[in-house]
Structure 1
Amino acid sequence: MMDTRKNIAIDWASPDVLEQIVQNIKNPLENIISASQNSSMEHKNVVDEIIFSSSKEISDIVEEIMRKAKSKSLNITFQDRPEIFEIYEENQNVRAMCTDEIKPQKITQMDQEWLMNFEKEIYGCIAKDYLSLYDLAFRMAVSERQLHRKIANLVCLTPNKYIRILRLHKAKQMIDNYIQSSISQIAYSVGYNDVHYFSTLFMCQYNVSPKDLIKTLR
C-alpha cells in the first residue's frame, strides 16, 4: 500500500512553531507545579519543595520564550532607548562632538521614540553614500528645518553628525562581531566609498584605525 502522506516542511525558526512547542511544554509543566505545590502544602516535604521551585523556574523561562516568540512575530524590537545615548555615554570623542551635555533622563519617552525611529530610518539606508536630509525629514513627518532644530535640542548634534556617528558605530559593530574583516567592504557597507576618509573618521571617533582594531581582534 502506497503511503499518500505528504512530507510537510516545518520552519523550526518560525515564531508560531516555537510558540506551539513551548505551549506543549507549558501545559504539563503547570500540572506538575500545581501537584507539587499541593503536595508540599500537605506534607511539607523538602523534595516536593525542590520540585516546585525548579518547575517554577522552568515555567518562568518558558513564559519569557513565549513572550519573545510573540514579539518576534509582531516584529517588535526590544530596544528601549536611542542608541545615541549609549554611544554618547561610552565614547568621549562623541561627547566632545556635542554642543552641550545630553541628559537622557530629561528627554520624554515620546521624544526618545522619535529618536529611535530616526535611527531606524538611518540604519535602513546606511549603505547609501548620501542620505538626503530632506528625505529623512519627510519620512519623520517634519520639515528639514524642524529636523535640525529637534535633533539639536534633543542630542545637541547636527543631523549629519548624528548620521556619521551611527555609520561609524555600525562599522565598529561589524568589526567587533567578526561580520566583516575587509576594511573596504566595511566602509562600503556603511556608506563610505572613500576608504581612506572612512578610516580617518573612524580613527577620530574611536582613537584606533579600523585596520589596527581588526588586528587586535584576530
Structure 2
Amino acid sequence: MMNEITKSTTIDWSSPDILNQIVQNIKNPLENIIEASKPSITDNKNHSEIIFSSSKQINDLIEEIIDGIKSKSVSLTVQGRPEIFDIYESNKNVQDLCENKINPQKVTKLDQDWLLNLEKEIYSSISQNDLNLYELSYKMAVSERQLHRKIANLVNLTPNKYIRILRLHKAKHMIDNYIQNSISQVAYSVGYNDVHYFSKLFVNQYDISPKDLINSLR
C-alpha cells in the first residue's frame, strides 16, 4: 500500500505555503510511524525488511517535500535587510517619490521578511516586460488588493512604482558592475523594451542617463 502511495504522489511546487502547511501537519505523525515501525529483535527478518522499506519511503517523501520548498519557493527563513530601505536612504529622488514616509526602524522584522520575499519574487521575474500583479500576489499568498495595501503601508508606493524602483536599481547595479555594456542590453535585462523610455525613467531616479553612466565608467 505504501509503495503505491509513494509512486503515485505528485508534488505541486507552485503553492509553497500550502506545501509548508502540509509538511507541518504530517511530519510529526509520520515520524512517529517511522519510529514505531522500527523492527524489534523478535521480528521475523523478512517482515523487518518490509517495514523498514515502507518507513524509509515515508521519510524520503517528507524530505523531498521539504527540499522542494527550500529550493523552489520563497525562502521560509529570511535574513538581511530589504534593498528598498538602502535605495531609499541613499537616493533623494526615491525619498521624494515615497514622500519621505519610509521609516525602516519602525518596520517590524516580520514585515521586513515579507518585503525581502517580495523583492526575491520581483527579481526572479525582473526581465519580464509585464510583471503580472495577480501572479505576484498569488506567490506572496495575498490578494491583489492586499498586495497594494501592504506595499503602500510599508513603503508608501504603489506596486508598479515599487517594481520600477527595483528595476532601475538592478539596471544601475548591472552598469556599475560591468554586467552589461550597452543601454539596450541593460534595458531588456530589467524588463524594458523601449530603450528611450527606460533612459527617461533612469534619469528621473538617478539624475544621470544610463549612457552617461556607462561612459563615465570607461
Q: Is the shorter-chain TM-score for this pair beyond 0.5, marking a shared fold?
A: yes
* Structure 2: distance between partners of 1:179 and 1:117: 24
Corresponding position of 2:160: 160
* Structure 1: distance between partners of 2:212 and 2:79: 30
* Structure 2: distance between partners of 1:95 and 1:87: 9
SS, match of residue 126 in structure 2: coil
Corresponding position of 1:204: 204
Corresponding position of 2:135: 135
Deviations 1:125-171 (A, max 9, x none): 00000001111001100001100000000011111001000000000
Deviations 1:79-114 (A, max 9, x none): 511000000000000011114421111111000000
Amino acid at match of 2:142: V
* Structure 2: distance between partners of 1:130 and 1:95: 25
* Structure 2: distance between partners of 1:131 and 1:205: 20
Amino acid at match of 2:172: K
Contact 2:202 2:210 in 1 (8 A): yes
**1:78, distance to aligned residue in structure 2 (A):** 8.6
* Structure 2: distance between partners of 1:140 and 1:100: 26
* Structure 2: distance between partners of 1:174 and 1:168: 10
Flag structure 2 segments of 5+ consecutive residues without an equivalent.
1-69
* Structure 2: distance between partners of 1:144 and 1:99: 23
CA change 1:166–1:79 in 2 (3 A) is farther
SS, match of residue 201 in structure 2: helix
SS, match of residue 128 in structure 2: coil
How many positions carry a matched residue from both structures?
A: 145
Contact 2:187 2:195 in 1 (8 A): yes
SS, match of residue 180 in structure 1: coil
Matches within 5 A, 1:113-192: 113-192=113-192
SS, match of residue 174 in structure 1: helix
* Structure 1: distance between partners of 2:167 and 2:154: 19
**1:178, distance to aligned residue in structure 2 (A):** 0.7
Corresponding position of 1:26: none
Q: Determine what percentage of the aligned residue pairs are the same residue.
A: 70
Corresponding position of 2:106: 106
* Structure 2: distance between partners of 1:203 and 1:180: 18
- TM normalised by structure 2 equals 0.64
Contact 2:203 2:210 in 1 (8 A): yes
* Structure 1: distance between partners of 2:79 and 2:170: 15
**4+ long deviations beyond 3 Å:** 74-79
Corresponding position of 1:83: 83
- Do structure 1's residue 195 and structure 2's residue 174 form an aligned pair? no
CA change 1:78–1:134 in 2 (3 A) is closer
Amino acid at match of 1:214: I
* Structure 1: distance between partners of 2:104 and 2:95: 13
